[in-house]
Structure 1
Amino acid sequence: MKKILVNSKLCYGPMSKNIVDTLIEFSNNTHTPITFIPSRRQVEWNGGYVNNWTTENFSKYVKSKSKYAAIQRDHGGPGQGLYDDDGYESLKHDCKYLDSIHIDPWKKYPNFEDGLKWTIDLLKFCYNENPNLYFEIATEEAIRKFESEEIERLLYRVKQNVDKNIFERILFCVIQSGTALKDGINTGNYNCNRLVKMINVIKTYKKLSKEHNGDYMDKDIMISRFNTGLDSLNIAPEVGVFETNIFLKKLKDDNCEKKINLFYNLCYNSGKWKKWVSDDFKPDKNKEKLIQICGHYVFSNKEFIDNIKNCIDTSVINEKLYEYFIKVYENTNKFYYNSYLRDVTRVHPPEDTQKIDNRLRLHRAERLYDFPDDFFNTFISNLSQKNFRYYPYIQNLKRKLAKHYKLKVHNFFLNNGSSENIKTFYKAFGIHNKYALLTKPCYPMHEVYAKLNNIKIMSINYDNTLNWNVNDMLNKINKNICCVVIANPNSPIGDIKTIDDIEKIIMKTNELSIPILIDEAYIEYSDNISCVSLLDKYDNLVISRTFSKALGCAGLRIGYLIGNYFIMNVLQKFVATYEISNISASFGEYLLDNYHVVDSYIDLIKKEKILIKKLCDKHNIPLILNNINTIHIKPKNISLLEDFCNKNNYIGRFRVLPHDNEKWMALVLFPDLVNHNLFKKIIECNK
């Protein structure tokens, strides 16, 4: 248990059962040591406000579910419970069921000599009750301020007055470098020099340092504390506020005004908010703030359970809490040698939507129509074990691409899909502290790859016509821009710029020698001219293309970059040992040799768009028809349509578009969609 206690970088108050369960799940999944730090009000020998847990029941619950969690009483001692007592009754139960106790008499006895005497007496009492216990001593700034000299005197006097075995079982000493909580913010003034002084004092006694009230702490300040040598940090109300906000948002989204008022009244009447607000706080003018600060105190209240608890599914709460803990624990991760990587957020599609089965996949812009049987079977029949056993040979594919575009082999850089194209471009041309110029929205991986290379981002936003302004982008291009990236057509909107507009931007970047990437993943679905026609004119131009969309083989991950000799010479430095697999290269060649199969499919999709527009116009269904293979529709009863998709195993994507507060359905096109049951339902949902 000592190993868990000393390696718990973050110690959490068990503010609710959901929080406890999620932390246990996180620790079990990641093997991260976690210490719960229940106060006497939260968990007590005769029951606390968190899930009505007694000390015994809470201990048994946690230990039955995780081997990576320890429990330490926070602020154990006199005057720390609901009533002004000597703390001994509570400590008897703590000694029996918990792993460690924070000995803290300082609230009731702030005088140094009195607090010291009580510390020594309580240490002896607890050790006699259970010699396997561990301890923490001193207290937080909000209870009693300590200077480093007093910390040194406290450790010295305790060491002189307790048995050696007891002193050795003191693992932590609380240090103070500027933390305080009021009105849901950390109002402490961080003093790094004070932190260093206290840590140095504690180290001389071979103890670990811990700071309390780590809630609402600026990320960089938290990281600075750990980098300076802080061993552990306590966090409690912040997590309760986070969970409260989940409930509050749901109630607001559902316009549950009566339940919000009930939530407020429960919080107000509990009086628990008074400890956490400033003297001039006006409850009636800060109702939402009061709920945020105090909500977790009433989670076990019967009225809350009966009227509010079930407004949101527990699994949803736990999922959001899990994401929160992942983010906070990144601040403790010692392997972030490049600190900017902490700002990179990776979001992956739900696993269930990635499974390949018989469901209709309306969410990933894939080809939803089988290749002709004779075409596909001929390819399969020509495969042999050599395609699997030998390393890839991809030069033939490059030659056929060169022939297809009437270019040279050196103009091509093969890659594992468009995503890797973009990643390679940022690696090659991103410059720290300069900006990548993008549109917003755009493919989410642009932002990810820019941040992975420590590049700042500047965005050109879409207006209420679902378009972005070329002149706005031209005005942003200057010496502070390291690269420009434009998807044309762009997803998810599907808008497209003319070749003339794109050329204006390329020309401006060329004048300043700024590399520009034009992502043409969806170009085949439009009637636009490709920027390949501009390669001879602009040496800073790179074009990204893919076999995933119109060519219909997203699973093979074939992407490629096109550019002139000199800019491709830079990109070739990043070429993988083997860019794509043998199977991918072989099918890529086969498609280029039989491009009529691609043309036929594109033609079917374009015809389907025309039919869908006629049908939507006839039934007055709002429609965004665009230049990719995904359209957006908004029938009157979008919720009914969403339910229909879920019940019929259609994997749909429902999203809110810029400048529109209502949901649209993003719908991947496939031949004869207008006669499919789905479209019949769309018409029905518009009545």
Structure 2
Amino acid sequence: MRGLLRTRNDYKCVINGVMEEIITMNKMNIREVIDKIFTLEETGFRTTLLGIGPMSRNLIVASLELAKEKDFPILFIASRNQVDAKELGGGYVCNWDQQGFKEAIEEIAKEVDFTGLYYLCRDHGGPWQRDNERNSHLSEAAAMELAKRSYLEDLIHNFDLLHIDPTKDPYVMGKSIAMDVVINRTIELIAYVENERKLRQLPEIGYEVGTEETNGGLTSQENYELFIRQLTTKLSKRGLPSPVFIVGQTGTLTRLTKNVGEFSYNSSKLLADTAKKYEVGLKEHNGDYLEDYIILDHPSLHITAMNVAPEFGYIETKAYLELVRLEEKEVENGRLEHPSNLKRVMSEEAVNSGRWKKWVIGDDVHLSVEAILAEEELTETICEICGHYTYENEEVKREITTLFANMKTLGIDGNRYILDKIKNSIDRYVQCFNLQGLTSKLLN
């Protein structure tokens, strides 16, 4: 297995008019992975791939450590707000652009001696997918142009899977976007990427289409199949590749630290069977916080992959806050003299960021920063769900350093505690999705 994974092919890539040579892993591409999973299903084997939102560097370390221990492939799914080109505003995760994201994962893989399969994936790429683009009500032409520039950076930096999602249209609010508009935008974006890929003589990549959002119009099995059929037919006529995944609405919805949706077994089975008719895998989004009895059933329902992101950010932040609780206790006991101010600093930064508006429910979305900070319980809740947005803040980083120094005084490796809490959270999905040993099965 390792010999195969370390074999390399040379690809020529034209960047800014200059022919450059890049070295890339001769690994199974994402299409080959899905085809092999479909083949394994015929033998009775069932699994569901896990898409992990890269909420922090720690999450990537924990993911690769666990994947090495349990021999499974990882999909790292980065939204445009998380990772994007500097000229488009960059990303809030470690200030990474596509190159920084790619190089960081390569560096971490070397650090933990991971030689298995991982895939760089764009989650919700497309027009208006950055908060500032949508809030600015950019024109369709301007938003599509920025989406193409973002996808080009993805392509140049060896992303394996691109999610084409043109449904975040600020001019269509409260109703579904017409299916033909979604299809035409999707085809335009895939055609653009494919043209650029061929010009640069880059290897084939995979595409994910559709959305879990209700305004995408794919909430019924009938519309879901109509979308796949019309899209794949038009792609074929233009000589463009069919998608690897299509996103389906299974009833999930993440708010605060819960999945407030209602997972539908019947809908999920219908959507999965429909997708497979067209040799496409069903991709579920918003899988965070689902109970074990639900995710245990995903492989048997033929849900090919599921994305989880905010849950892992919540787990990491909760781990920091647990160390803060210990720190506070040991200050009271006289064993520590200089406590960190991590909880206060992280809470204030999380509230001031305004990013909590995406996750709260009801009238709380209209609360002012001052009103939230005046309520201790609500402030703590927002810190828990949005703390990960603050990890790159310099003051937050200083307080984490102080916290870890205090833990070291107590004989505790604070960072190791954080990593293990994240690994335990990921491992729940590894077990329920029957992922252990999957890489070896794919390659043998």
Q: Could you say if the C-alpha distance between residues 234 and 310 of structure 1 is closer, same or farther in structure 2, counting changes exceeding 3 Å?
A: farther
Provide the C-alpha distance between the structure 1 equivalents of 2:120 and 2:181, rounded to a whole number of angstroms.
27
Deviation (angstroms), 1:242 = 0.2
Name the counterpart of 1:190.
263
1:100 and 1:165 map into 2 onto residues whose CA distance is 20
Q: Structure 2: how far apart are the matches of 1:334 and 1:130?
A: 31
| Structure 1 counterpart of 2:287, from 210, 214, 225 | 214
Q: Is the 8 A contact 2:346 2:383 kept in 1?
A: yes
Aligned-partner Cα distance in 2 for 1:211–1:309: 37
**Following the alignment from structure 1 to structure 2, what is the Cα–Cα distance between the partners of residues 236 and 28?**
20
Hey, which of these two has a bigger chunk of helix by percent?
2
Mapped partners of 1:32, 1:50: distance in 2: 24
Matches within 5 A, 1:202-601: 202-255=275-328, 258-281=341-364, 283=372, 284=375, 285-312=377-404, 313-333=414-434
Q: Report how far residue 234 of structure 1 moved.
A: 0.3
Distance in 2, Cα, partners of 1:35 & 1:50: 17
- Choose which of 157, 165, 185 in structure 2 pairs with 1:104: 165
Hey, what does 2:187 align to over in structure 1?
120
| Structure 1 residues 527-559: Cα deviation after superposition (integer angstroms, max 9, x where no partner) | xxxxxxxxxxxxxxxxxxxxxxxxxxxxxxxxx
C-alpha contact (below 8 Å) 1:127/1:166 kept by paired residues: no
Deviation, structure 1 residue 20: 0.8
Percent identity reads 29
Aligned partners of 1:183 and 1:276 also within 8 Å: yes
Q: Could you give the per-residue CA deviations for residues 23-46 of structure 1, whole angstroms, max 9, x where no partner exists?
A: 112222322100000000111111
Q: CA 1:15/1:142 → structure 2, altered by over 3 Å: closer, same or farther? A: farther
Gapped regions of structure 2 (runs ≥ 5): 1-27, 38-47, 134-142, 199-203, 329-338, 405-413, 437-444
Q: Which residue of 1 aligns with 2:335?
A: none
TM-score with structure 1 setting the length:
0.47
Q: Is the 8 A contact 1:136 1:172 kept in 2?
A: yes
**How far, CA to CA, are the matches of 2:403 and 2:73 in structure 1?**
32
Q: How many angstroms apart in 2 are the aligned matches of 1:276 and 1:317?
A: 23
Aligned partner (choices 139, 146, 152) of residue 92 of structure 1: 152
Q: 1:29 to 1:144 in 2, by over 3 A?
A: same
Structure 1 residues 627-665: Cα deviation after superposition (integer angstroms, max 9, x where no partner) = xxxxxxxxxxxxxxxxxxxxxxxxxxxxxxxxxxxxxxx
Checking the alignment, whether the CA contact within 8 Å between 2:235 and 2:241 is kept in structure 1 is no
Distance 1:5 1:251, change over 3 A: farther
Q: CA deviation at 1:142?
A: 5.5
- CA deviations over 1:51-85 (Å, ceiling 9, x no partner): 11111121133245244110110001000014323
Contact 2:252 2:286 in 1 (8 A): yes
What is the CA distance between 1:170 and its match in structure 2? Answer: 1.5
Preserved contact between residue 340 and residue 403 of structure 2 (Cα < 8 Å): no
Residue number in structure 1 paired with 2:126 = 77
Amino acid at match of 2:104: Y
**Residues in 2 aligned to 1:309 and 1:214: alpha-carbon distance in whole angstroms:** 32
State how far apart, in whole Å, the 2-side matches of 1:295 and 1:153 are.
40
Q: Amino acid of the residue matched to residue 81 of structure 1?
A: R
Question: Which of 40, 56, 79 is 1:16 aligned to?
Answer: 56
The yes-or-no answer on 1:181 pairing with 2:254 is yes
Would the aligned equivalents of 1:299 and 1:305 in 2 still touch at CA under 8 Å?
Answer: yes
Distance 1:309 1:221, change over 3 A: farther
Q: Which whole-Å CA distance do the structure 2 matches of 1:15 and 1:191 have between them? A: 28
SS in 2 for 1:225: coil
Tell me the SS of whatever aligns to 1:300: coil
Trace 1:42-81 onto structure 2 (pairs within 5 A): 42-46=82-86, 47-64=90-107, 65=109, 66=114, 67-81=116-130
Change (3 A) 1:217 1:165: farther
What is the CA distance between 1:332 and its match in structure 2?
Answer: 0.7
One-letter amino acid matched to 1:127: E
Q: Are 1:100 and 1:134, in contact at CA under 8 Å, matched by a contact in 2?
A: yes
For 2:25, the equivalent position in structure 1 comes to: none
Structure 1 residues 614-635: Cα deviation after superposition (integer angstroms, max 9, x where no partner): xxxxxxxxxxxxxxxxxxxxxx
| Corresponding letter in the other structure for 1:225 | H
**Cα displacement (A) at 1:143:** 5.4
Cα offsets for 1:468-525 (capped at 9, x unmatched): xxxxxxxxxxxxxxxxxxxxxxxxxxxxxxxxxxxxxxxxxxxxxxxxxxxxxxxxxx
Tell me what 1:151 maps to: 224
SS at match of 2:120: strand
- C-alpha distance in structure 1 between counterparts of 2:67 and 2:340, whole Å: 37
Per-residue deviation, 1:129:
1.6
The answer to which of 313-322 and 225-234 deviates more is 313-322
- Matched with 2:81 is 41
Aligned twin of 2:29: 2
1:167 shift after superposition: 5.2
Q: 5+ residue gaps in structure 1?
A: 336-687
Partner of residue 577, structure 1? none
For the aligned residue pairs, the C-alpha RMSD in angstroms reads: 2.3
Distance 2:325 2:289 in 1: 23
| 1:658-669 to 2 correspondences below 5 Å | none
Question: C-alpha offsets along residues 582-631 of structure 1, whole Å, 9 cap, x if unaligned?
Answer: xxxxxxxxxxxxxxxxxxxxxxxxxxxxxxxxxxxxxxxxxxxxxxxxxx
Q: Distance in 2 between matches of 1:125 and 1:228?
A: 34
Query: Aligned equivalents of 2:196 and 2:402: distance in 1?
Result: 42
Give the secondary structure class of the aligned counterpart of 1:295: helix
Larger radius of gyration: 1
Q: Number of paired residues?
A: 336
Q: Distance in 2 between matches of 1:111 and 1:18?
A: 41
SS at match of 1:173: strand
Deviation at 1:278, TM superposition (A): 0.6
Following superposition, the deviation at residue 169 of structure 1 comes to 4.7
TM-score (norm 2): 0.71
Partner SS, residue 15 of structure 1: coil
CA distance in 2, matches of 1:323, 1:182: 22
